[in-house]
Amino acid sequence: MAVVKANAYGHGAIETSRTLIRHGVARLAVFSTEEGVALRQAGITVPIVVLGPVFQEQFGDLFVYQLTPVVSDPSVLTALGKAAASREIFHSIHLKIETGMGRLGLTQNELVTLIRSNKFPPSLRLEGLMTHLADTDGADPDATEEQIIRFNASLKVVLEGGFQVPLVHVSNSGGAVRFSSAQFTLVRPGIMLYGYHTLPGTVEAPDLRPVLSLKTCIAQLRTIQPGGTVSYNRTFTAKCPTRIAVLPIGYASGLSRQLSNRGQVLIRGQRVPIAGLVCMDMVMVDVTAIPRVAVGDEVVLIGQQENERITADDIAEWTGTISYEVLCAISPQIPRLYRSS
């Protein structure tokens, strides 16, 4: 079950989903009902699981668009069961168990009460049972193994309650490669589909290649004299005659303002530094070191150019975050070009 939430981690949910399906992915996971509806409206017909919380106002869309909600709360289960019964339909759901993430999920007690007291709504089909692991990329595997033990106890309660649960799933990307005890009938990889991981160096990661490049081009060039400054609040001052290139991308498109005077981009196969504060839709770079630079030159913000490469991990390091946030910050308004493989 491929995770395509957050616009497929910035890659574009619809095209990414189509490509994954073409390569044999049988099921998709999104965060919200709205994300699921958008995929359905694009003609995607594979089963779609909604990982995030669902609200009463969304039940209609779940039914109409055949989206499978993950239910984490007994009262939502009851309400959804009533809504399905009143429409005389039978709708599949997955139940989520809280095992240590401290986020969504039924507690073990809530699960036991639900199963042993026969409160599971007859209008719903328990298609899946799941939990989410909090620390698959942490240094210490013990907390994850404990979560898996707790999950197995929940699974036992459900099976002993007489439920057949066809889909049992626990692993995100890190869990899928690192914890054999977390393999059930499905895995839910996200970040690794896109070529990144956050596993510690002590764990052997699969050979992954980043899928996405982020590019722009030089819009204007100017030379500023010593003492001249660049961008808002004049945080960059030229010490010598400095060639500045203006790039038409800024924080509104997902280029973090934390990259101000810190990040780098690639032009003509060379790394050049960002000069001054990142603006909403523009950023300036110091291209003094590149002799034949010209307006229209390709600029790589993420990706490879000649022998140099900048990854989402590099940007994450410069901005104090993780590749996930760098990727899904890329605005949906930036045109995506897909190359067929």
Ligand X SMILES: *Cc1c(COP(=O)(O)O)cnc(C)c1O
* Alpha carbon distance 265, 219 (integer Å): 15
Total of residues contacting ligand X (CB under 6 A): 12
In one-letter notation, the amino acid at residue 257 is R
Give the length of the chain.
Answer: 341
Site for ligand X in 125-144 (CB under 6 A): 132
Candidate residues 53, 105, 128, 190; the one interacting with ligand X per rule CB under 6 A:
190
Buried (b) or exposed (e) across 18-54, using 16+ Cβ within 10 A?
bbbbeeebebbbbebbebbbbbbeeebeebbbbbbbb
Candidate residues 105, 189, 195, 254; the one interacting with ligand X per rule CB under 6 A:
189
Does the footprint of ligand X cover residue 3 (CB under 6 A)? Answer: yes
Does the footprint of ligand X cover residue 305 (CB under 6 A)? Answer: no
> Phi and psi for 28 in degrees, rounded to 5?
-120, 155
Q: Pick the closer one to ligand X by CB: 256 or 323.
A: 323
Candidate residues 7, 17, 58, 173; the one interacting with ligand X per rule CB under 6 A:
173
* Alpha carbon distance 261, 235 (integer Å): 8
Question: At CA 192, angle to CA 186 and CA 194, rounded to 5?
Answer: 120
Of 82, 232, 239, 251, catalytic: 232
Which residue matches tokens 């999950």?
151
In the complex, least distance from residue 101 CB atom to ligand X, rounded to whole angstroms: 9
In the complex, which residue's CB is closest to ligand X? 190
State which H helix or E strand residue 39 sits in: helix 33-41
Q: Pick the closer one to ligand X by CB: 81 or 105.
A: 105
Q: Which stretch binds ligand X (CB under 6 A): 187-195, 212-220, 269-277, 297-305?
A: 187-195
Tokens of 23: 């390569």
Q: Pick the closer one to ligand X by CB: 189 or 210.
A: 189
Q: Which stretch binds ligand X (CB under 6 A): 15-23, 189-197, 272-280, 290-298?
A: 189-197
* Alpha carbon distance 238, 45 (integer Å): 56
Candidate residues 16, 172, 288, 319; the one interacting with ligand X per rule CB under 6 A:
172
Closest to 258 in 3D by CA, of 334, 323, 330, 320: 320
Q: Please confirm, yes or no, whether 251 is among the known catalytic residues.
A: no
Q: Which stretch binds ligand X (CB under 6 A): 15-23, 166-174, 240-248, 261-269?
A: 166-174
* Alpha carbon distance 260, 273 (integer Å): 9
Q: Pick the closer one to ligand X by CB: 173 or 260.
A: 173
Candidate residues 51, 111, 182, 259; the one interacting with ligand X per rule CB under 6 A:
51
* Alpha carbon distance 295, 328 (integer Å): 29
Tokens of 329: 């910050």
Of 5, 9, 196, 324, catalytic: 5
Q: Please confirm, yes or no, whether 119 is among the known catalytic residues.
A: no
Q: Pick the closer one to ligand X by CB: 182 or 191.
A: 191
Q: Pick the closer one to ligand X by CB: 308 or 313.
A: 313
* Alpha carbon distance 311, 330 (integer Å): 14
Candidate residues 106, 191, 245, 266; the one interacting with ligand X per rule CB under 6 A:
191
In the complex, least distance from residue 216 CB atom to ligand X, rounded to whole angstroms: 26
Closest to 110 in 3D by CA, of 128, 100, 122, 96: 96
Active site residues: 5, 232
Binding site for ligand X (CB under 6 A): 3, 5, 51, 132, 172-174, 188-192
